[in-house]
A and B are shown apart, each in its own frame.
Chain A
């Protein structure tokens, strides 16, 4: 299998000893959606910027279509950006308030010379607006004239404009009302089917991820603690952190048995990462070995890895589980 995006041992350390991303590896196949899930501050947004080399990594490699993005010159990287786009979390701040919607959507097209004439540009912008469910006359208007959900559609239209093969979606729906979240997720899913896109879908909400992800990677404090195909991860989490996150997500079926696992304390600062397993300060299963040794990333099933000394299906015992 050739991956579209193949990231290895990627890390980003900020001045002051902050290890925001601390050696992570993952890959995304063509047409696949990998969800990157974790609490605020776990480094998932930083990872999404590193994956596109919008941030300069401290170590590691980013292979996109087999080519290491880190070896590219600035000009070559800019050309390559046609193929990898991003949708932002904040639908308000991600659109320049002084540009019309048409100008905003046209920007990547113009940069890469994808619409040589004025007429071609107008036609392409209208087509993109139509794809995301907005009327063609939206092109002449300004961002402030649109709601959050509509603005996110504009951001998506801008991202798919140059026909990328990878779109990084950094919490694309977490700023939206729940009623709109589903619409935007469905739109992203439809676009994936129509255009064969791959997504790196960053989220803190497992309920959103359940609908769109093919595979899920769970991040905690700068590392990936568990990776698995989506249905497997939801059916049989092997890392206690994943289990705790899942227990916090709302159950889609009314009346389903829920046993919330409440984690103690706060996520530690990336400035002072605990030794051994970095989850041990909050883990209900923590033993001496967890405080001393970093757990290896072990494969528990094909395509399913977990970094825990006690990796097992539902590692945290709960009364109602038989």
Chain B
């Protein structure tokens, strides 16, 4: 956790979150304002990341796109984590038919790469940011069910759970009071590791037109849009692509650090 690279990445993550939260308040220019004379310009003092083929300020667009990327990056793992943990915990705790069905469905969904499943669901649900979150969250769901179920099986055989049964506690409350707090560690670890993937999936879906719809900017559709004129002006692709890479990298490294800190198996 104290490693300098980790600290730098943590700072980058904090910066991205701040930009996502407050960026729109400090927009240097209108990200939607087109300008015929300022098309495809390289970076300058007025346009830090240059301009795109409609003369829109790429920096402002990337800044605003951060909001969508991070919103999805955090919302999808959060929703999948909450639902998946509850499903996995109850499946592991009660066993029986619910466990068998949840386990089979999770296995079935795990057979698809989450990107493919995300594309499939986003296409089926149609465009729209809410649908996008739902699609990615659903694609992540089986991972959380798996982790929560496996951790629950371990916790369920702990004597303190038996002690709670012996005390006369209702099984539902045993899950809430004993199981969930004790499986939260592994679930949080998995959650942080999937944030970067969610951001990547959002960019991919927006790139192929299933995500954030133009003219609203997102890193994926800025890159897609810039591709048309990449030989004339690579700046939108390069700047948005670099931002995306930096963000995914930072979240991945911080996620690894969180795992190292919380997971006793990785602790030195």
Residues of A within 8 A of B (CB): 52, 54, 77-82, 85-86, 88-90, 93-99, 107-108, 111-112, 155, 158, 162
Contact = CB atoms under 8 A, between A and B. Distances in A.
Interface of B: 158-160, 162-170, 177-178, 181-182
Contacts of A111: 167-170
A96 B160 contact: yes
Given A93-B158, A96-B182, A98-B182, A86 B163 contact: yes
Given A90-B159, A93-B159, A158-B163, A98 B168 contact: no
A121 B131 CA distance: 49
Given A54-B162, A88-B159, A90-B159, A96 B178 contact: yes
Contact of A85 (B160, B166, B177): B166
Contact of B163 (A77, A78, A94): A94
Given A96-B178, A96-B182, A82 B168 contact: yes
A310 B198 CA distance: 74
A88 B162 contact: yes
B168 A95 contact: no
A95 B160 contact: yes
Nearest to B164: A107
A45 to B, nearest CB: 11
Contacts, number: 58
Nearest to A96: B160
Contacts of A82: 168
A223 to B, nearest CB: 25
A261 B170 CA distance: 48
A86 B163 CA distance: 7
B171 to A, nearest CB: 9
A226 B5 CA distance: 68
Contacts of A97: 182
A94 B170 CA distance: 18
6 contacts: A77-B168, A88-B163, A94-B159, A96-B164, A108-B167, A111-B169
A94 B165 contact: no
A150 to B, nearest CB: 16
Nearest to A95: B160
Nearest to A155: B163
Given A54-B166, A99-B177, A108-B167, 6 more contacts: A52-B166, A81-B167, A94-B162, A94-B163, A96-B158, A107-B169
A54 B158 contact: no
B257 to A, nearest CB: 22
A219 B142 CA distance: 46
Given A96-B178, A98-B181, A98-B182, A79 B162 contact: no
B185 to A, nearest CB: 10
A112 B164 CA distance: 12
Ranked 8 nearest A-B pairs via Cβ: A81-B168, A108-B167, A94-B159, A78-B168, A96-B160, A93-B159, A86-B166, A98-B181
